[in-house]
Amino acid sequence: MADTDSGSQNRTVFRTCPLCEATCGLELTVGPQEQIVRIRGDRDDVFSHGFICPKGSTLKQLHEDPDRLRAPLVKKDGVHVEVSWDEAWQAVSDGIGRVIERHGRNALAVYGGNPGAHNLGSMLYNGVVYRSMGSHNKFSASTVDQIPKHVAGGYMFGTPQSIPVPDIDHTDYLVMLGANPYASNGSLCTAPGFPDRLEAIRARGGKVVTIDPRRTKTAENSDQWIAIKPGTDGLLLAAVANVLFEENLVSIDARLASLTAGVDELRTAVAPHTPESVEKATGVPASVTRTLAREIAAAPTAAVYGRIGVNAVEFGTLNAWLIDAINLLTGNLDSRGGAMFTMPATGSATTRGRGGKGKGFAIGRGHSRVSKKPEAMGEYPVAILAEEITTPGDGQIRAFICLSGNPVLSTPHSKQLDAALASLDFMVSVDIYLNETSRHADVILPAPSALQKEHYDIGLYVYAIRNVANFSERVFELHEGQPDEWEILAKLGGILQGLGPDVDPHAIDDAMLRQSIGAAVGTAGSPVHGRDADEIYDLLSAGGRRGPARQMDLMLQTGPYGAGFGANPDGLSLQKLLDNPHGVDLGALEPRLPEALRTPTGRIELAPPLFLAELARLGEKQASMESAGMLLVGRRDLKSNNSWMHNMKVLTKGSLSCTLHVHPDDADRIGVADGGSVRVTSRVGSVDVPVEVTDAVRPGVVSLPHGWGHNVPGTRMAVAAEKAGVNSNILTDDEVIDPLSGNAALNAIPVTVAAL
Ligand SMILES: Nc1nc2c(c(=O)[nH]1)N[C@H]1C(S)=C(S)[C@@H](COP(=O)(O)OP(=O)(O)OC[C@H]3O[C@@H](n4cnc5c(=O)[nH]c(N)nc54)[C@H](O)[C@@H]3O)O[C@H]1N2
Ligand SMILES: Nc1nc2c(c(=O)[nH]1)N[C@H]1C(S)=C(S)[C@@H](COP(=O)(O)OP(=O)(O)OC[C@H]3O[C@@H](n4cnc5c(=O)[nH]c(N)nc54)[C@H](O)[C@@H]3O)O[C@H]1N2
Ligand code: SF4
Ligand SMILES: [Mo]
């Protein structure tokens, strides 16, 4: 939405920030030469109310970055050179065609990276690439991130999108495990201004407890910090559940009690895990654990929430399960101030179909070729990507498509993956930089700048603390001949289908839309059931509209608040969002059970057998967790964003740097001083890194941020190379994964640390 600001030549545009999950509204001032003059928080945004972090305003520098790719690159004699789009598409078609011809479609693989979850075009058109490959080799950043929450929610509530969100604006008692929203601004809990919202809990007399091996800024701003030993949260959570049962503190909401299956099985399963029995492994005094359980139970409302530090670990799914089990046992599931389900404007798996029951969810519909890992949500763990590339045999991956991802820096045992990518027959990246991963690509297709794309957070609103809808028009037009990201993806899909380099992405877009309309008019209960498909198509395409905004309009209009193409004139449509550039607030989360359930039984499954078996496995590992070796964990910094924003000097100048945090006691023992260097060694690799001595880590724990290590040849990120840092994923182990979800264990890595 743009209005010209009278008196000056500037125009003002409102846009949602696409950089992290907080979805902050931005106000951009654009000058007469189509340059960004200023970016600040949009005070009228219905959700973020003006909040902005230091990254939000760097959309200007990102847009202007001379290293950001403007033209396709093709590797010729080992060097990337700029080519025309026609030449690039021909090279993609030839490269993929050759691999399919020689090795079949099972030799194709794809990886979808994190920025795709913040990008409307990718959210809607990555699927074209996946479906068109005709191969099961699908990987994504989900398996270094949140897939444990999908698997836990899937088994407990029926769909992988059935992930409860802590109602932080209304809770009296918030427990956060392995999350540092002061740095990350929140995750699977979309809440712009997260820190302010935490402070509001305390201001209204509530309590915030942070459980983290590091004394993070979040911990510092909490009422209580529990300095747990990495990787042991499952034991702590089991002990909390144990206290709830033993002290008769279980009080499942009356509405949910008759819907809940497995209470007795859970009681039996946690019986061995008393606060006293887990004390040595977790490092948390039994009295602290007992008090925690009693306080959660006694609080008028409470919400337990866990993120990366309890998901990206070996027992990630178990942790996600026990967290929601505790929410349920204490009467805090699906009620105000507890952990709740959203009702997103574009719908989700929990809003579609008949409510209350469904097909349910299961992992293991297939197994990986080499080490037989179970499929989860249609994908395999990215930790096994390297072995699938390097192990000969039928189905060996020979061609790789990387969509907005940098797995060379972001996935475990990355030296091994780096070498594997170098051995491929063909690789194509859709990216904005020539970086550590895309340097292996034979063809790099540059996506436009974020400011040249339309935006709607179709994925992140599924996990937001309020139901909100906000659409952003592009700030800058695409250049003549420059394809939008969705056009690149649709065309790539067409080429994978064998339609050749001249395939028209708009024909693919049309076919997709017609298919979605067909499904909508054919579904009983849809607001357009029985309507004429051509009429709906024409309404959506009015004014020549196409691409993601048109697809999204259909989702909005047929969604829970939808206008239904005239059936509900006050309802939501793309036009309504265009008329409301600061967003539309659809209200606080409301209880949704049992209607949101999609389990085959129509019940909440509190004790899925797979999860009980996993708890038994944890019990067997407990003794080994009591040992005193050094453990590595990660960390995030407010001014960094995974691996790809280190080319912004405004962010990297000053304090932002890649150092190993070491506790003073450990530093003494190792014989290193602040500013000195150490060698950190794990089972799979070792790195040399400067040390910051700080008591903000638990003794026995060292912390290194991920996303660094920009000192490899063949990249084009001049600023990042100046302050390269080291790649922490050289240390993380591809063989330690959460067996249920396939998520990599990126925390609690056994390491040795030696002074240099
Ligand atoms: N040790 C350790 N490792 C971790 C983590 C950790 O906590 N510890 N965290 C993990 C998590 S949570 C995640 S999500 C992953 C992220 O893992 P990835 O998604 O693999 O990596 P990113 O660093 O997000 O890199 C994103 C890539 O997308 C490109 N890009 C940026 N914007 C766009 C765009 O608009 N279009 C396109 N096409 N490309 C774009 C960037 O240039 C970059 O190459 O890292 C994981 N790795
Ligand atoms: N500034 C910034 N913001 C980001 C990102 C970024 O890179 N930079 N990345 C975005 C992405 S992709 C994601 S997924 C989110 C992640 O959002 P968060 O989950 O909030 O991520 P972190 O800040 O890494 O917090 C994880 C915490 O877990 C702790 N931890 C490690 N091991 C354990 C353990 O075994 N037990 C417990 N209890 N804690 C442990 C770490 O010390 C760390 O403080 O952030 C998003 N926002
Ligand atoms: S908190 Fe996230 S969404 Fe908000 S301005 Fe910062 S990077 Fe953008
Ligand atoms: Mo992530």
Whether the bond between 272 and the residue before it is cis, its omega within 30 degrees of 0, is no
What digits encode the pLDDT tens for the residues 41-93? 999 999 999 999 999 999 999 999 999 999 999 999 999 999 999 999 999 99
Residue type, 310: V
**For tokens 């590339």, what's the residue?**
389
pLDDT of residue 193: 98
- DSSP H helix total and E strand total for the chain: 26, 27
Q: What letter does residue 391 receive in the DSSP assignment? A: S
- Site to probe by mutation for ligand 3, drawn from 24, 40, 49 as the one with most ligand atoms within 8 Å of Cβ, is 24
Give the CA angle between residues 380, 395, 88 to the nearest 5°.
Answer: 85
Strand order in the sheet with 108-112: 79-82, 73-76, 443-446, 426-431, 399-403, 108-112, 138-140
CB 526 within 8 A of CB 520: yes
Other CB atoms within 10 Å distance of the CB of residue 543 = 4
Q: Using DSSP bridges, classify how beta strands 25-30 and 11-16 pair: parallel, antiparallel or unpaired.
A: antiparallel
Name the residue of 23, 114, 180 to mutate for ligand 2: max ligand atoms within 8 A of Cβ. 180
What does the block give as tokens for 234? Answer: 């499952």
Token representation of residue 593? 């059970």
Dihedral sign from CA coordinates of 320, 325, 326, 332: positive
Q: Is 398 exposed, middle or buried (0-12, 13-18, 19+ CB in 10 A)?
A: buried
pLDDT digits (tens, 9 = 90+) for 300-323: 999 999 999 999 999 999 999 999
**Run of H or E including 512:** helix 505-521
pLDDT value at 2 more than 90: no
Residues with CB under 6 A from ligand 1: 113-115, 119, 141, 144-145, 308, 312, 404-407, 410, 430-433, 435, 447, 450, 485, 634, 642-644, 706-707, 728-729, 732, 746
Per-residue tokens: 52: 């902005």
- Say which ligand is closest to the CA of 705: 1
- Report the pLDDT value the prediction gives residue 353, as an integer from 0 to 100: 86
Question: Where does 363-413 have alpha helices with state H?
Answer: 385-390, 407-410
Residue 5 banded pLDDT, cuts 50, 70, 90: low
Band of the pLDDT at 106, cuts 50, 70, 90? very high
Q: What is the model's pLDDT at position 3? A: 52
Tens digits of per-residue pLDDT, 698-747?
Answer: 999 999 999 999 999 999 999 999 999 999 999 999 999 999 999 999 99
How far does residue 626's CA lie from ligand 1's centre (Å)? Answer: 34
Q: What is the mean pLDDT of residues 613-641?
A: 97
Q: Give the C-alpha separation, 413 to 408, whole Å.
A: 9
CB–CB of 432/121 below 8 Å? no
The helix/strand/coil state of 538 is: helix
d(C-alpha 237, C-alpha 667), whole Å? 31
457, pLDDT greater than 50: yes
Tally of CA atoms within 13 A in the half-sphere of 30 that contains its CB:
20
**b/e 636-649 (16+ beta carbons within 10 angstroms → b):** bbbbbbbbbbbbbb
The ligand minimizing its distance to the Cα of 19 is 3
Round to whole Å and give the CA distance between 310 and 2.
42
pLDDT of residue 261: 98
- Kindly give the number of the ligand 2 atom that is closest to the alpha carbon of 230: 35
Q: Label residue 457 left, alpha or beta by phi (over 0 means left) and psi (-120 to 50 means alpha).
A: beta
Cβ pair 296, 330 in contact under 8 A: yes
The DSSP 8-state label assigned to residue 558 in this structure reads T
The answer to whether the Cα torsion of 212, 217, 220, 221 is positive or negative is negative
Give the H or E element holding residue 112. Answer: strand 108-112
* 203-258 confidence digits (pLDDT tens): 999 999 999 999 999 999 999 999 999 999 999 999 999 999 999 999 999 999 99
Residue whose pair of structure tokens reads 């699938």 in the numeric block: 388
Phi, psi angles (nearest 5°) of residue 662: -130, 135
CA distances for 552 relative to 20, 305, 459, 681, 741, angstroms: 21, 30, 12, 48, 29
Whether the pLDDT of residue 4 is over 80: the answer is no
User: Which residue do the tokens 């959700």 mark?
Assistant: 47
Per-residue model confidence as pLDDT tens digits over 575-593: 999 999 999 999 999 999 9
Cα angle 201, 202, 204; round to 5: 70
Give which of 69, 302, 78, 270 is closest to 201, Cα–Cα. Answer: 302
Ligand 2: lining residues by beta carbon, under 6 Å: 20-21, 114, 145, 177-181, 183-185, 187, 211-214, 216, 228, 230-231, 233, 307-310, 313, 633-638, 640-642, 747-748
Please name the residue whose Cα sits nearest to atom 30 of ligand 2. 309
User: Beta strand 25-30 with 604-605: parallel, antiparallel or unpaired?
Assistant: unpaired
**Cα separation, 736 vs 683, whole angstroms:** 11
Element (H, E) at 545: none
* Three-state secondary structure call for residue 353: coil
pLDDT over 50 (residue 456)? yes
Is the confidence at residue 118, as pLDDT, over 90? Answer: yes
Region 553-561: mean pLDDT is 97
Tell which one of 431, 454, 719 to mutate to probe ligand 1, the residue whose CB is within 8 A of the most ligand atoms. Answer: 431
Choice from 308, 638, 641 to test ligand 2 binding pocket (greatest atom count within 8 A of CB): 308
Question: Do residues 201 and 174 lie in contact, with contact meaning Cβ atoms separated by under 8 Å?
Answer: yes
- Token code pair at residue 626: 């009591």
> What's the pLDDT tens digit per position in 165-195?
999 999 999 999 999 999 999 999 999 999 9
Q: What is the DSSP string of 329-343?
A: HTT-BTSTTSEE---
State the Cα torsion 390-393-394-398 to the nearest 10°. 30
Distance 145 CA to ligand 4 centre (A): 5
Mean confidence (pLDDT) of the chain: 97
Task: Classify 402 as helix, strand or coil.
Answer: strand
Extract the tokens encoding 543.
């004014």
Residue 446: its H or E element: strand 443-446
Q: 734, 683 in Cβ contact below 8 A?
A: no
Question: To the nearest whole percent, how much of the chain has pLDDT over 90?
Answer: 97
Please say if the pLDDT value at position 6 is more than 90: no
pLDDT average, residue stretch 111-119: 98
Dihedral in degrees, nearest 10, Cα atoms 498, 502, 508, 511:
-90
User: SS3 string of 205-255?
Assistant: CCEEEEECCECCHHHHCCCEEECCCCCCHHHHHHHHHHHHHHCCCCCCCHH
Which atom of ligand 2 lies closest to the CA of 642?
Answer: 7
Phi, psi of 417 (to 5 degrees): -70, -40
Nearest one of 20, 15, 19, 22 to 39, comparing CA atoms: 15
Rounded Cα gap, residues 402 and 438, in angstroms: 8
Q: Residue 343 pLDDT > 50, yes or no?
A: yes
In the structure, what pLDDT confidence band is assigned to residue 628 with cuts at 50, 70 and 90?
A: confident
d(CA 693, CA 667): 7
pLDDT higher than 60, residue 658: yes
Residue 476, CB-side half-sphere exposure with 13 Å CA sphere? 22
Q: Whose CA is nearest to atom 2 of ligand 3?
A: 20
Read off the pLDDT of each residue in 254-270 and give the average, rounded to a whole number: 97
Task: State the DSSP H helix or E strand holding residue 690, giving kind and residue range, or none if neither.
Answer: strand 686-693
Angle at 280 between CA 278 and CA 281, to 5 degrees: 70
Say whether pLDDT at 372 is over 50. yes
Ligand 2: centre distance to CA 145 (Å): 10
Tell me: pLDDT of 1 over 80: no
Nearest to 738 by CA among 390, 262, 383: 383
Instruction: Give CA torsion, residues 699, 241, 238, 384, to 10 deg.
Output: -110
